[in-house]
Amino acid sequence: MRQQTQPTVTSNSLVSGIREGLTRPGQKQLPSKFLYDEVGSALFEAISVLPEYGLTRADVRLLRRHATDIVSRLPLPVIVAELGTGSGKKTRWLLEALARRRPSCYCPIEISRSALAMCQRELGDIEAISIVGYEAEYLEGLAQVAARRRDGEHLLVLFLGSTIGNFERPAAVEFLRDVRQILRTGDSLLLGTDLEKPVAQLLAAYDDPLGITAAFNLNLLARINRELEADFALQQFRHLARYNPAARSIEMHLRSTHTQTVTLRAAGFTITLEKDETIWTESCHKYAASEVPLLATKAGFDCTTQWLDHEWPFAESLLVAA
Ligand code: AVI
């Protein structure tokens, strides 16, 4: 894989994101994108095969079943950009279907170099697909891919795995608008969204009995210890997953079991946590399938087709830039 290296989650943005979230008045918060260092990405891979967490399997099922249909709806030639690839496993079906129609270029965009390497290992054997990885934030990487497209080439953006659910609802609209701005009319976005399901099922998915999700969450503090010379005592925090009915989201928090002081030496600040105070680390919003076309319209797209999984309610929606 050729790689355009423009790292943007520098230690500077890590420091400023963490400082801002931990020192603001009221609820302490950490940006969920920092969950995915090398250890966090590996733990997320483990989450995705847990029996309680059906999201990734639903996403893969839909892509495997409908890859040919999805690809048949795209104008060719096409260049594919994927926002956040993880291991890249679930993209195989689409790329293979595309390769059967025409040789194409696939551009994974990831802030994690190790995820890009994993993606190359996973997908590098697909003939007729050339891979050019972008180590960048989503919008910056997408702008770079858009700038390299050839005349007449259609751009397909993949935003799978319900990462859109990790944005607050207004921020999700804004993000999709920003994506739309980079596209040309007629370009496409394939959007994966996890759908609403019983609260007990969601709580089990985000607080699994093996404690993998707890480890994934706690690793954020471990990462800050490693990268910012901090002294979070991990045994003094508990993973907490709770459903917020107003937001229709699962919130992940880390609850402090004691009143404690933590110093982030390399960032040059100290915080105090009260007993039972939490640090909010992630929100996972759940959608109704019918909400996606409305979200699309607000962001400047038309939702032309939806494919639904009923085993674990999940939607794959094809949006076309209006
Ligand atoms: C990546 N994202 C869609 C996952 C989710 O379900 O919101 C992240 C995750 N957090 C805990 N488990 C999985």
Euclidean distance between CA atoms 299 and 214, whole angstroms: 34
Angle at 289 between CA 283 and CA 295, to 5 degrees: 70
Among left, alpha and beta (phi > 0; psi -120 to 50; other), residue 141 is alpha
Which residue, by CA, sits nearest to atom 2 of ligand 1? 163
Which residue, by CA, sits nearest to atom 4 of ligand 1? 163
Distance of CA 198 to the CA centre of its chain: 22
Q: Residue 88: its pLDDT value, please? A: 83
320: helix, coil or strand? strand
Which helix (H) or strand (E) covers residue 83, if one does? Answer: strand 78-83
Ligand 1 site, residue 206, Cβ cutoff 6 A = yes
Q: Residue 3: its pLDDT value, please? A: 61
Q: Residue 2: its pLDDT value, please? A: 63
Q: Residue 138: its pLDDT value, please? A: 96
| DSSP-assigned beta bridge partners for residue 272 | 261
154: helix, coil or strand? strand
Ligand 1 site, residue 108, Cβ cutoff 6 A = no
Cα distance between the two ends of the chain:
33
Euclidean distance between CA atoms 321 and 305, whole angstroms: 13
Determine contact, residues 254/220, Cβ cutoff 8 Å: yes
264 closest CA partner among 10, 3, 14, 7: 14
Q: Kindly list the averaged pLDDT for each block of 10 residues, start to end, along the chain of length 322.
A: 49 89 97 93 95 98 98 96 88 96 95 84 94 95 96 97 98 98 98 98 98 98 97 98 98 98 97 98 98 98 98 98 98
Ligand 1 site, residue 86, Cβ cutoff 6 A = no
